[in-house]
Chains A and B, each alone.
Chain A
Amino acid sequence: MVTMFGVLMITLLITIALVGSNMDIILKQGIVFQVRTEITEDPAIAQSFSSVKEFEAFVQSQIDQRIQILGLDEPWYSPQRIGITMYKILLLDFGNATFIISDSGSSDVKDIILEKLPRTILLFTTATIIISIIGIFLGALSSSKVGSVVDRVTSSFAIISSSFPVWWIGMLMIFLFAFTYQIFPARATPDIPASDPGYIGALLYHMTLPLITIVMIGFGSWAYLVRNFMVGIMQEDFIMAKKTIGINQKKIIYTHALKNAAPPIVTILALSLSGSLGGAIITEAVFDWPGMGRLYFEAITVMDLPIIIGSTYVLTVFFLVSIFIADLLYGYFDPRVRTGQ
């Protein structure tokens, strides 16, 4: 647990270090712009000064004052500022976003993330679950008939699909099923407001094309992995023994062998569940899916530090928690690794 917490903090520190200086420059420019527009909008202020020099000095003092209020006079790497930022993050207070606002109009980072996160989880978790179910059964099937047509088709499909970028297949799918044959919408963002009762239905309909794409590219390599684990296990002595006793092949595969292949499979499942959230950035960009990935990308292009930190935090927490859960499950399925007592 200590390591995981350390990792989380290091990740956040690196993120702040990378975007901090750019962010400061952008914020300072924003303040200068703000002060200048306020003054030009109110001619009375300009008239109350006798010389240009005096006026410029006033503007500069206004700018300095605001910079000081926001604490921007100290560099981003000053212990004080980093300390405050980290402390706030620990309390799950990510502050307000600089540019991006949520669909409901809030600029609180927490609101924005809570709005986008369920959509990403909806799409990618559904996809990962479908992939793993298809993958496990296909893998078990092809491992029971090594060298058969099913096995060869699965293996070659796995190898071929693993070298295609998902987002490119996404473009092709949009090209084929959204424009050439107009079955699914091209943009995955539903065009009705979130308050509409039909929103869920629209969201699911818009989700179909990305879902099909992700599943299509994903299940092959899953099946291949499961097959390889199973082939290894099927050569173990206890399976041989069960075969000689005369237990039916199907029962051996789906109860005994699969249970023994479970630890690595569960680990991969946990890792790919959280990994899919990180990989969502490009896929969401292609399908224009309004989730975390697109939020992250938008935040980086406009350098919205609070959002970047918040999203990195969420992504890292998900990843760490799933590593932790994977470890626990590994111990549950495979008692040999339970050590330390």
Chain B
Amino acid sequence: MSSISPQEIKQEFLKSKMGIAGITILAILVGISLIAIITIPLETFQEWNNPGHWISYPKVAIPIWVNLFMTEKIPEHKILETPNIQMNSQGNVLLTSHQFGFNYNYDEFPSDFIYEFSSEYSGSPLLQMTVIRPDGIKLELITTSLPFSNSKTIHSERIFSTDSAIKKNLSLQSEQFAFTLDKLSAEDIVFSKTQTNESLKGNYIFSIDVYSINSDVLIPESKLIIGGKAFGIMGTDELRRDLAVGLLWGTPLALFIGIVVAISSVVMGLLYGVYAGFKGKKTDETMMRFNDVIYALPVLPFLIILSVTISNSIFVMVGFLMMFGWVGIAKVSRSMSLQIKTRGYVDAANMMGQKDSKIILKHIVPQLLPYAFASIAISVPAAITTEAGLSFLGLGDPSFPTWGQILHDANIFGAAARGLWWWILPPGVMIAITGLAFVFIGNALDVIVNPKLKR
């Protein structure tokens, strides 16, 4: 156990397939974390529990890539933010026109469409929304005037497809369709074939024209949302949150929790155990009794009580996990240091009058390092799953949602009963993969440190 040099460990480690696999997965996870930190600003992620932030996303949308395996394509949720802007003026009438063109080729109707805008104007401009369909038919959707204002004002509004004015306008144009429009919703009419009520595939152009007299109209925000049932790579949940954001940001959080807890509790346990073993006698006895007490505490119940009564901040939680993590390692490193203590060179160092701290750090701890590395790797998954478990019970830090919390929400909203597999599977798979990476590394190290297991 004691005669392995770092080079040998590295060599042996690179020989083990499991170790390589573990390192590879870990590298991928670190890559994902970096991507998450760079591409998704922390501010976006902290909006996770703010429903207002996610309002333009669809509810429980299936991941987009599912369409690759489907013969009947599920409509994708589209958020169009870059309209084609045209400005015309005729006399004193100014026309600002925003056009959204997109290709719709799904077998179902969209669930709705919403036009969201904010405009800056004075007076009372007129807003007209029309759609040009693939078959060339132009449908008038709504004509409305924006609220009058004497001075410059900013007005924000959402026009929903459920608006009764749209319904009324469409029923006035019912001669275009061969079926009755009475009980159909606006999106089922706009996206329908004229002969039968089936979805019409092709290019649609939604245009929003704003007429104003003698004044400029600015539309800094203009967004057309075509509601669908598929969105993003990972889909969305009941609260319209994009699961990809949560899953991506969960990676650095899980790695942070796991690694910090593992390293600090192993270091703590190692020093505690080595010191107790080295000192021996009364010190050893007292320290090990204290160790026994902590060992006998029921961990999970205590973690629950602590997070309910003291704080559920993620950093405090890391501290709590550490408090219970070091006990086992302290026991093992104590017995190891008892063995090493009896070796000649420790005696020699002692006789030369070296300080205790120096003997421990220079002569005993280095001997235990291989074991320490293996235990760090092995205790990471435990820390991650414990945190995930606490979050799953709803005791996690709401400002830093983790994979456990996504699963908690899934459980609350009955994702299993409703068959929302994309809400349950990915977070658990991520937890498992992260755990697996460290278990692989730990086992590969363990085999090197304990040669007995090799055969």
Interface residues of A (CB under 8 A from B): 3-4, 6-7, 10-11, 14-15, 18-19, 22, 146, 159-160, 162-165, 167-169, 171-172, 174-175, 178-180, 186, 228, 231-232, 235, 278-279, 281-282, 285-286, 296-297, 300-301, 303, 308, 311-312, 315-316, 319-320, 323
Contacts and interface: CB of A to CB of B under 8 A. Distances in A.
A162 B293 contact: no
Given A165-B388, A168-B431, A179-B417, A316 B455 contact: no
Instruction: Provide the main secondary structure of the chain B interface.
Output: helix
Interface stretch (B178-186, B213-221, B433-441): B433-441
Contact of A297 (B292, B293, B393, B416): B393
B439 A162 contact: yes
Interface string B269-295: 000000000000000000001001100
B246 to A, nearest CB: 16
Interface residues of B, number: 47
**Residue among A10, A171, A285, A319 with max Cβ neighbours from chain B (10 Å):** A171
Nearest to B290: A10
Contacts of A174: 416
A36 to B, nearest CB: 27
B139 interface: no
A311 B301 contact: yes
Nearest to A297: B393
Interface string B415-455: 11101010011011001101110111001000000001101
Contact of A162 (B381, B392, B452): B381
B296 interface: yes
A171 B301 contact: no
Which are the 5 A-B pairs with shortest beta-carbon distances? A163-B435, A168-B428, A175-B416, A7-B296, A278-B298
Interface stretch (B126-134, B165-173, B304-312): B304-312
Contact of A167 (B301, B392, B436): B392
A136 to B, nearest CB: 18
A165 B386 CA distance: 9
A278 B411 CA distance: 21
A15 B443 CA distance: 36
Contact of B299 (A179, A278, A282, A301): A278
19 contacts: A3-B289, A7-B293, A11-B297, A19-B305, A159-B18, A159-B436, A165-B389, A168-B427, A171-B411, A172-B424, A175-B416, A175-B419, A278-B300, A281-B393, A282-B300, A285-B392, A297-B393, A312-B301, A315-B298
B329 interface: no
A159 B440 contact: yes
Given A18-B310, A175-B416, A319 B296 contact: yes
Interface of B: 18, 289, 292-293, 296-302, 304-306, 308-310, 381, 385, 388-389, 392-393, 407, 410-411, 415-417, 419, 421, 424-425, 427-428, 431-432, 434-436, 438-440, 443, 452-453, 455
Contacts of B407: 168, 171
Contacts of A175: 415-416, 419, 421, 424
Given A175-B421, A175-B424, A180-B419, A11 B453 contact: no
Contacts of B419: 175, 179-180
Contacts of A323: 296
B298 A316 contact: yes
A165 B308 CA distance: 22
A331 to B, nearest CB: 18
A300 B305 contact: yes
A18 B305 contact: yes
Given A168-B388, A312-B301, 7 more contacts: A15-B305, A162-B435, A171-B410, A171-B416, A235-B455, A316-B296, A319-B298
Contacts of A312: 298, 301
Contacts of B292: 3, 7
A312 to B, nearest CB: 6
A171 B410 CA distance: 10
A282 B392 contact: yes
Contacts of A235: 452, 455
A159 B298 contact: no
Contacts of A286: 411
A194 B74 CA distance: 47
Contact of A320 (B296, B308, B381, B453): B296
B309 A167 contact: no
Nearest to A315: B298
Nearest to A232: B452
Contacts of B293: 6-7, 10-11
Given A163-B381, A281-B393, A319-B296, A301 B308 contact: yes
Given A163-B432, A164-B432, A171-B428, A231 B455 contact: yes
